[in-house]
Amino acid sequence: MKEKIRAVARLLVARFSAVVIVPLRGFGFAAKDVGNAVRRHQALGFSLLGGLLATALALSGNTAAVARSTGRGKAHRAAAGLGKPDHAGGFPTIHLEQVVGGITQPTTVTNAGDGSGRIFITQETGQIRIVINGTLLPTPFLDISNLVRQDPEQGLLGLAFHPDYASNGYFYVDYTDNDHNIVVARYQVSAGDPNIADPNSAYTILKQPQIDSEDHNGGTVAFGPDGYLYISIGDGSCCGDPEGNGQDLTTWLGKILRVDINRDDFPGDPNRNYGVPPDNPFVGHPPTLPEIWAYGLRNPWRCSFDRLTGDFFIGDVGQDTWEEVDFQPAGSSGGENYGWSVLEGMHCFNDNPPGSCDDFLNGGSTLPILEYNHDFPGCAVTGGYRYRGQRYADLAGVYFYGDFCYGLIWGAIQQGNGTWQSQVLLDNGLGFAITTFGEDEAGELYVVKFNSDQSVLYHIAGSQEVTPTPTPTITPTPTPTVTPTPTATVTPTPSVTVTPTPSVTVTPTPSVTVTPTPSVTATPTPSGTVTPSPTATATPTPCTGRCSPTPRPRPTARPRPTP
């Protein structure tokens, strides 16, 4: 943060000296003295500096120096990529809705992706806070303030949740420790409370010494669509990258790293507990470090993935003149050189060796998609997110980013030809220091106003709110209950007792004695011997035409395999 405060201080001196110092020279003051005083006290609160700047501007009457836009005014054209978009909808109108205040020095706003709807906020002082339904929980999710060095550009800077956080409880933080190391470490949620992490679960992923300077730490940690962890690290210098770290592929400084946190390729090194993805662009090319994914960065402050496309956005803070947003498409195989410190934005900064600037500007580097000049006005870019929420139709696909010193919120829209157009959507004034944007599980976006321990989280709202279609509740058709037909009880028919009819005694008729007639003896005719006819054997007639075949035995059914 110190560099950003310096930028505010430079602006203060420039404005304040022109309006106040010259008249006060008669009292023994000089601009040089004020400048020295500002530099000695540059860690003072942002609200004080903002107030002084606003006062100086008001005294000078130069309020036009601060660009004013609510999204309806004409596009600013002082920066590359600024102008009228070529789509019918134009730029949206936005406003801010306060979510919660009382946050201390916020640096990251993110979500756990676990379906809880919670918002997690890192504080530079070493705590992670949770917001639930607009309420800031009093107990931090994690407090590692005893491990964190709290200098202006150092502290707890980044937070990312494992893609399987809902099942494993792992999350990753980026901070600077008391020995000036940049540390990426893994922690785990406690077993008993989802809103409290286990501070004793720390597991170091990597360390990068930051001895020569306490500036330019980067600090973003983010999981890509590929499941790998991306880490941004600044060039480690105060000014101008004197060591040439941005272009040096033997150091992590000034780079984006890409590592696999699900394995360990360095079991003997306690400070390197990760694997190197085999498709990283510099694998197998020593002494180039294989963890490097992209390079040529000065201080990549707030980077994000487009949750829909997988594209990667990098807000890279400039030196004295140009701020830039760099871009990596989802299909990239890595290895992009974003130009620092040969270039600052799309402009030559250090033509060493001679001819480097021409080479870099003509295909030798990946130029930014957006840039703006400090005279625009501006001092330090804060990278943001592309809106993929469902609540505001007019924000769809807009990339939001901001300026730390002037409180400007920009919106950028990609054109049909692949270029980007950008416009100031909201000017919050000099006292509104933007340190980070954020995204919740639903894709809604947030921005913070950095103001010591009175920092505020705001929700970014559009003007075309979509009324959500309620999910139809399907009332299950009740299974009909079949009332069994009662079994008919058959009442046995009582047996009929048949009263026997009394037997009738028949008096026999007296028999009549018949005198037999004498029998006639018949002479029998000799019987003829009958020769039996032989039994005819039936010869079967062969089947011709549409006869019924002899039925075949039915096959025995085989048992069905168990699924």
Using omega within 30 degrees of 0 as the cis cutoff, is the peptide bond preceding 533 cis?
no
pLDDT digits (tens, 9 = 90+) for 421-474: 999 999 999 999 999 999 999 999 999 999 999 999 999 999 999 986 665 655
Two tokens, residue 444: 């809604």
- Give the SS3 label for residue 169: coil
Using omega within 30 degrees of 0 as the cis cutoff, is the peptide bond preceding 341 cis?
yes
95-461 belongs to which CATH class?
Answer: mainly beta
- 13 contacts 34 by C-beta, under 8 angstroms: yes
> What whole-number distance in Å separates Cα of residue 398 and Cα of residue 523?
137
Please name every residue paired with 382 in a beta bridge, in sequence order, or none if there are none: 402
pLDDT score of 345? 98
For the chain, list residues with pLDDT below 70. 1-89, 211-212, 468-563
The residue type of 541 is T
> What whole-number distance in Å separates Cα of residue 345 and Cα of residue 317?
10
> What whole-number distance in Å separates Cα of residue 153 and Cα of residue 176?
9
pLDDT score of 162? 98
pLDDT digits (tens, 9 = 90+) for 216-267: 989 999 999 999 999 999 999 889 999 999 999 999 999 999 999 999 999 9
pLDDT score of 23? 31
Other beta carbons within 10 Å of 478: 6
Two tokens, residue 164: 């399987």
> What whole-number distance in Å separates Cα of residue 282 and Cα of residue 324?
25
- 205 contacts 197 by C-beta, under 8 angstroms: no
> What whole-number distance in Å separates Cα of residue 68 and Cα of residue 377?
11
What are the residues whose beta carbons fall under 8 Å from the beta carbon of 121, sequence distance 6 or more? 103, 106, 108, 109, 128, 129, 130, 131, 438, 448, 457
Q: What stretch(es) of the chain map to CATH 2.120.10.30?
A: 95-461
